[in-house]
Copies of this chain bind each other. A is one copy, B any other.
Amino acid sequence: MRIMVQKFGGTSVADMDRLKMVRGKVKRALDDGYKVVVVLSARAGKTNKLLDLVARWSPEADLSEVDSLLSTGEQASVNLFSIMLNDSGIKARSVLGWQIPIVTNATFGSARILSIDGDHLRKMLETCDVLAVAGFQGVTEDGRITTLGRGGSDTSAVALAAALGSCECEIYTDVDGVYTTDPNLCSSARKMDRVSYDEMLEMASMGAKVLQIRSVEFAKKYNVPVHVRSTFNDNPGTMVVQEDETMEAVLVSGIAYDKDQALISLTGVPDQPGTSAALFGPLAKEKIVVDMIIQTASRNGHADMAFTVPRKSLEKAVAIMENHHNILHNEGIETSSRVAKVSIIGVGMRNHTGVAARAFEALSRENINILMISTSEIKISCLIDEKYTELAVSTLHDAFGLGDK
């Protein structure tokens, strides 16, 4: 039995016309000899509407009830789609998270998948050609409905593909695939044919919205090749796959950026053990995500520290710093929310030097000042003044020849 997993998001199930397009994709796979597992999201806007309703009812609503409520959105999608498929002579049935089951832990609102009964799915596929599976949802061991968090349907699809074993996984989106950078920012942006899981992870976390980051982690862990492609045409998209030798030949794969950055600089912090813990402990406690961090070398027993947080957390972070002044003993605080992070990503960096130098040189030629730098094995990120974001992205894209095929 050859099985194809296909995932469609909220805009693809918005109405009957859109679902007919989905049916077209399913039919093509059936014609190619596959049995199809279609993972659907809730109708676009439905989940937000339900969350708004809950917010009006109770500011701190019981998350297990919220999850059960939200899960009705995907349930309606798969029921209606199954009705449509059967109506056009395709043997299909809906499958909810608990019916498989997709067992998760009990972290309501952002549950993690523990196991999926792939054998049960295969058995269901013996009596019908298409399973319309509700994305985003699972069930705890004691039978309560959970949801996987935002974009969780991507994760559902990849996890189902992993559980079914040796099956293909297509994630349909409203773009043609993964681009070397944001085409809205840089006209020479080019669709990639292949990208590695690690590169995709860096891109996703940088704000490339194509695939949910957890789904990529899942794909990497179980080595599921994911084909990201468009709902609106039949062009091949981008294969997200395990890194291979040909990939390493490419130095840099893409340029990502993230404008959701705010900078906090502390001057004259005593340079002594425990300062960092005193600084970042309270932020972590308040669930503020700290991204880039730098610390200058010590001068007279004092150092300057700077770090970035999401813009919405800036005010809260500053308040926490001020509350902990008696521990930090810093001389001053400066903040800016007009900063952006630009990142160069590529598995090729692992085996090559000089990428950073080439990047800095390119930015310098355009007089773009670098406020902070952070690096990983396959990524170099630079914090810059927000107004230079577009210029920096284009400059780096050109500097590494990403627009050329």
Interface residues of A (CB under 8 A from B): 16, 53-54, 56-58, 60-62, 64-66, 68-69, 71-72, 75-76, 79-80, 82-84, 86-87, 93-94, 96, 98-99, 143-145
Bound: A16/B87 CA distance, A: 38
The answer on a CB contact under 8 Å between B65 and A53 is no
CB-defined A-B contacts under 8 Å, sample of 8: A61-B83, A61-B86, A65-B93, A68-B79, A68-B96, A69-B75, A69-B80, A72-B76
Other than A69-B76, A98-B98, give 13 A-B pairs with Cβ distance below 8 A.
A16-B56, A16-B57, A57-B84, A58-B83, A64-B93, A65-B79, A65-B82, A65-B86, A66-B79, A72-B75, A72-B76, A99-B143, A99-B144
Assembly CA distance A63 to B82 (angstroms): 11
Q: With A and B bound together, what is the CA distance between A71 and B82 in angstroms?
A: 16
Q: Report which of B62, B71, B79, B96 forms a contact with A83, defined as CB distance below 8 A.
A: B62
Look across to chain B and name the residue whose beta carbon is closest to the beta carbon of A62: B86
Q: Which residues of B contact A57 (CB under 8 A)?
A: 16, 80, 83-84, 87
Give CA–CA (A61, B62) in the complex, Å: 35
What is the total number of copies of this protein in its complex? 2
Interchain CA distance A274-B335 in the complex, whole Å: 96
Do B75 and A68 have beta carbons less than 8 Å apart?
Answer: yes
Set of chain B residues within 8 Å of A145, measured between Cβ atoms: 96
Q: Is the CB of A80 within 8 A of B53?
A: yes
B residues less than 8 Å from A61 (CB atoms): 83, 86-87
CA distance A93 to B72 in the complex (A): 17
A72 CA to B87 CA, complexed, in Å: 21
A86, closest chain B residue (CB): B62
Contact indicator A83/B65 (Cβ below 8 Å): yes
A64 and B66 CA atoms in complex are apart in Å by: 25
Q: Which of A53, A62, A87 has the most CB of B within 10 A?
A: A62
Residue picked from A61, A68, A80, most chain B C-beta under 10 Å: A68
Docked pose: A274 CA to B76 CA in angstroms: 50
A72 contacts across to B, CB distance below 8 A: 72, 75-76
Please measure, in the bound complex, the distance between the C-alpha atom of A61 and the C-alpha atom of B56, giving whole angstroms. Answer: 35
**A99: nearest chain-B partner, CB-CB:** B143
* Interface-central residue, A53, A83, A96, by most chain B CB under 10 Å: A83
Given the interface pairs A58-B87, A143-B99, the reply to whether A94 lies near B68 with Cβ below 8 Å is yes
CA distance A94 to B98 in the complex (A): 16
A334 to chain B, nearest CB (A): 42
B69 touches A79 (CB 8 A): yes
| Residues of chain B within 8 A of A58, CB atoms compared | 83-84, 86-87
User: Does A82 lie within 8 Å of B62, measured CB to CB?
Assistant: yes
Complex alpha-carbon distance, A83 and B54, angstroms = 8
Distance of A48 from chain B, by nearest CB (Å): 15
Nearest 4 interchain pairs by C-beta: A58-B87, A69-B79, A72-B72, A61-B83
The smallest beta-carbon distance between A129 and chain B, in angstroms, is 14
A138–B191 Cα gap in the complex (Å)? 49
Which residue of the partner chain B has the closest CB to A70?
B79
Distance A66 CA – B75 CA, assembled complex (angstroms): 11
A16 to B55, CA, bound (A): 13
Question: When chains A and B are docked, how far (Å) is the Cα of A57 from the Cα of B65?
Answer: 30
In the complex formed, the residue of B with least CB distance to A84 is B57
Nearest opposing residue in chain B for A73, CB measure: B72
A84 surroundings in chain B (CB, below 8 A): 57-58
CB neighbours of A96 from chain B (8 A): 68, 145
A65 and B87 contact, CB distance less than 8 A:
no
Distance to closest chain B CB from A227 (angstroms): 28
